[in-house]
Structure 1
Amino acid sequence: MQIELIKPHTHAGKRLAVGDRIDLNDASARWLIAQGTAKAATPATDSKPARRDATSGTTTQGD
């Protein structure tokens, strides 16, 4: 399960900051969420919106 930290946290000896994402087993992830240290990460989205090509009428991703 991927989580996003909402508080600083040390994992495997490495200091992580708010906003960092890590993959953990479900039990560990749920424990950190229950402690208020993390939240379930939402899937990353492409920041470039799809656009329609005026010549072909097809939809393409931004450059």
Structure 2
Amino acid sequence: MPNLTIELLKPHTHAGKRHAVGDRIELTDASARWLIAQAVAKAATAPVAATETKPNRRDATSGTTQGD
């Protein structure tokens, strides 16, 4: 059975584990679609590349890149 990744819109407990709003979990297609129909979750979009989510900062005086 295929799986679907969802993003939670409300807190949810799945398999005894509590998940917060915004958490992504992978479920069977049927379970995922049921949570979406209940407005508990939405289909997750593709993850954003790590370089797009956390840009490096440049030090104004030295011009070097500093990681966070």
Which TM class, normalised by the smaller chain length?
A: 0.7 to 0.9
Match of 2:10 in 1: 7
Unaligned stretches of 5+ residues in structure 1: 50-62
* TM-score, reference length from structure 2: 0.68
Paired positions, count: 50
Unaligned stretches of 5+ residues in structure 2: 53-66
**Structure holding more helix per residue:** 2
Alpha-carbon separation, structure 2, partners of 1:48 and 1:15: 29
Match of 1:37 in 2: 40
- Stretches of 4+ aligned residues off by more than 2 angstroms: none
Alpha-carbon separation, structure 2, partners of 1:8 and 1:27: 19
Alpha-carbon separation, structure 2, partners of 1:19 and 1:33: 14
Alpha-carbon separation, structure 1, partners of 2:49 and 2:30: 29
Overall identity of the aligned pairs, in %:
68
What amino acid maps onto 2:28 in structure 1?
N
Q: What's the C-alpha RMSD, in Å, of the aligned pairs?
A: 1.5
1:7-57 superposed Cα distances (whole Å, 9 cap, x missing partner): 0000000111000000001000000000000000001011425xxxxxxxx
What amino acid maps onto 2:9 in structure 1?
I
* TM-score, reference length from structure 1: 0.73
Pick from 11, 17, 28: which aligns with 1:25? 28
